[in-house]
Amino acid sequence: MNSLEAYTSLFISSFLSSTILPGHSEITLTTLILLEKYSQFLLIFFASLGNILGSIVNWFLGLYITKFINKSWFPFSKKQLDKASSWYLKYGKWSLFLCWVPIIGDPLTIVAGMFRFPLIIFIIIVSISKVLRYIFVGYIALKLL
Report the domain count for the chain: 1
Residues spanned by the domain of 21? 3-144
- Identify the band that residue 57 occupies on the pLDDT scale cut at 50, 70 and 90: very high
Question: 15 versus 66: which is more confidently predicted?
Answer: 15
Cβ-contact 114, 63 below 8 angstroms: yes
Residue type, 92: G
Residue 74 confidence (pLDDT) above 90: no
Q: What is the pLDDT of residue 107?
A: 86
Q: How far apart are CA 88 and CA 82, in angstroms?
A: 10
Residue 34 confidence (pLDDT) above 80: yes
Long-range contacts of 83-89 (CB under 8 A, 24+ apart): 83/107, 84/108, 84/110, 84/111, 85/111, 85/114, 87/111, 88/112, 88/115
